[in-house]
């Protein structure tokens, strides 16, 4: 298993969730919801590193299982899927009958949306132009 599978999967998840959320918010949301989402992925990875070791390992294992589930279902690891298939994989886990699958998607969605909507206030707090 490649050592970079976890961060690649997290980054792809962040792009998928943030992109889907920005698209559903429409054009009224302005530029702060637009990609790229590298800052969102870095935020999520920082939060993962701050977790207690036992919880962090559980999230990492679940995320890697998510990546391999895409391989079984779509023929490629999650981060290598085209956007339409990524969307299908996230939707399948979000609506899964298995609670841990749904919970993993809630975990990532909550962090991504928090970071996405914090962009503007963070830039203002740092005195950076939008």
Distance CA 25, CA 30 (A): 9
pLDDT band, very low/low/confident/very high, at 72 (cuts 50, 70, 90): confident
Where residue 9 falls among pLDDT bands split at 50, 70, 90?
A: very high
3-state secondary structure of 129: coil
118 pLDDT more than 60: yes
pLDDT at residue 21, rounded to an integer: 84
N-to-C CA span, the chain: 40
Going by pLDDT thresholds of 50, 70 and 90, the confidence category of residue 73 is: confident
Neighbour count for residue 58 (Cβ, 10 Å) = 14
For residue range 79-102, what is the model confidence (pLDDT) as tens digits?
Answer: 999 999 999 999 999 999 999 999
Residues in the chain: 130
Q: How far apart are CA 32 and CA 4, in angstroms?
A: 28
Residue with tokens 């779509």: 74
């Amino acid at each position: 298993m490649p050592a970079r599978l976890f961060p690649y999967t997290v980054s792809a998840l962040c792009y998928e969730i943030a992109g889907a959320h920005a698209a559903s918010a429409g054009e009224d949301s302005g530029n702060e919801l637009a990609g790229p989402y590298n800052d969102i992925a870095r935020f999520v990875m920082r939060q993962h590193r701050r977790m207690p070791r036992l919880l962090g390992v559980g999230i990492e294992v679940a995320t890697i299982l998510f990546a391999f589930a895409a391989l079984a279902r779509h023929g490629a690891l999650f981060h290598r899927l085209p956007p339409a298939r990524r969307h299908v994989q996230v939707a399948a886990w979000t609506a899964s009958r298995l609670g841990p699958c749904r919970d993993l998607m809630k975990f990532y969605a909550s962090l991504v949306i928090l970071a996405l909507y914090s962009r503007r206030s963070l830039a203002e707090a740092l005195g950076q132009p939008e």
